[in-house]
Amino acid sequence: MSQVVVLGAGISGHTAAAHLKRMLGKKHNVVVISPSEYYQWIPSNIWVGIGKMKEDQVRFKLRKVYKRWGIEYHQAKAVSIHPDGSMENEKPFVKSVYTEPEKRGEEITIEYDYLVNATGPKLNFNGTEGLTQGRNTQSVCTTSHAVEAWENLQKIFEKAKNCEKQQILIGTGHSTATCQGAAFEYALNVAFEARERKIEDKIEITWITNEYELGDFGMNGAFVKRNGYVIPIKEFAESVLVEYGIGWIKRAGVYKVEPGKVYYEQLNGSKHVKEFDFAMLIPSFTGAGIRAIGKNGEDIQDKLFLPNGFMRVDADYSPKEFEEY
């Protein structure tokens, strides 16, 4: 019997664990380690952030599901990977710390034959001075953030209804932030909701992005087929923003946020300030911060992880035999 340990129960970890169990059956053990008791469908947070979906519509508890599927589950946070084992332990293992209330803080060591690291991106709010979720700015990167964003957006809508002009800023909160597509969708959702409430003339929405051209979305653009025409996504994105009455600032790296003010530098070196009443800015991402430790307890961080904390991968997604990896 082999043991496969999956770190993280997000979109990739949960999918990997589900398929591994389905394919490996009872002959092998699949273990999931993840700090939250929930799986959350992150893409739907753009709906939670405008009040169209509730928190519990985009998440479910993992424990029951994993029990039914025969997957061993630990509500814990992995803190270190020991791929060569240790002096006391021949086999590779992962050290984790429980996050569930009954065992909170207790350490657990789990051996593995195969390890899947699916811990996703850590939201690096500290990467931009003043980019503080819930205080200066909002995010829709997690369901609880999106709930909070919606609470604050409603206050903006109320003010606009009372004829107070409101400025909304949506986009990327760092020159290296990604996930522009999610923020773009959220900008359109907010504009749509303002129109539904007939307050669009009181709300000025601006899309601020680090993209070189609109519609890059971190994937070097694309082409869109619409009404029989194939158009570059740059034109598509620009025309959609115009249609929704949204202005834009591109090639902008946000480097500082203060209450109601965002400071950004554009690619040509010019520096600017933009005021806002409500801002939803995506932070930069780092890895989950798991340590990599060698057999003698030495630090082997550089072997497993990049300086930004993400795991080293070959970034070649073509199918291969396991031995070829």
Ligand X SMILES: Cc1cc2nc3c(=O)[nH]c(=O)nc-3n(C[C@H](O)[C@H](O)[C@H](O)COP(=O)(O)OP(=O)(O)OC[C@H]3O[C@@H](n4cnc5c(N)ncnc54)[C@H](O)[C@@H]3O)c2cc1C
Give the residues lining the site for ligand X (CB under 6 A).
7-13, 33-36, 42-43, 45-46, 77-78, 118-121, 140-141, 179, 182, 288, 290
DSSP summary character for residue 316? -
Under 8 Å between Cβ of 203 and 240? no
- For 298, half-sphere exposure in the C-beta direction (CA atoms, 13 angstrom radius) is 7
Q: Is 309 helix (H, G, I), strand (E, B) or coil?
A: coil
Apex 186 CA angle, 181 and 187, nearest 5: 95
Helices 143-161 and 180-196: crossing angle in degrees, nearest 10, is: 30
Write down the least CB distance from residue 19 to ligand X, Å. 14
Q: Which residue, 141 or 188, has its beta carbon nearer to ligand X?
A: 141
Whole-number Å distance between alpha carbons of 256 and 303:
33
Write down the least CB distance from residue 245 to ligand X, Å. 22
Q: Which residue, 53 or 257, has its beta carbon nearer to ligand X?
A: 53
Whole-number Å distance between alpha carbons of 225 and 228:
6
Q: Which residue, 43 or 259, has its beta carbon nearer to ligand X?
A: 43
Write down the least CB distance from residue 118 to ligand X, Å. 5
Residue 234's alpha-carbon distances to 102, 207, 230, 239, 255, in angstroms, are 51, 14, 12, 9, 25
Query: CA 30: distance to chain centroid?
Result: 25
Nearest to 40 by CA among 145, 124, 135, 117: 145
Write down the least CB distance from residue 27 to ligand X, Å. 25
Write down the least CB distance from residue 226 to ligand X, Å. 19
Residue nearest to ligand X (CB): 10
Write down the least CB distance from residue 273 to ligand X, Å. 26
Q: Which residue, 7 or 205, has its beta carbon nearer to ligand X?
A: 7
Q: Which residue, 33 or 50, has its beta carbon nearer to ligand X?
A: 33
Q: Which residue, 140 or 246, has its beta carbon nearer to ligand X?
A: 140
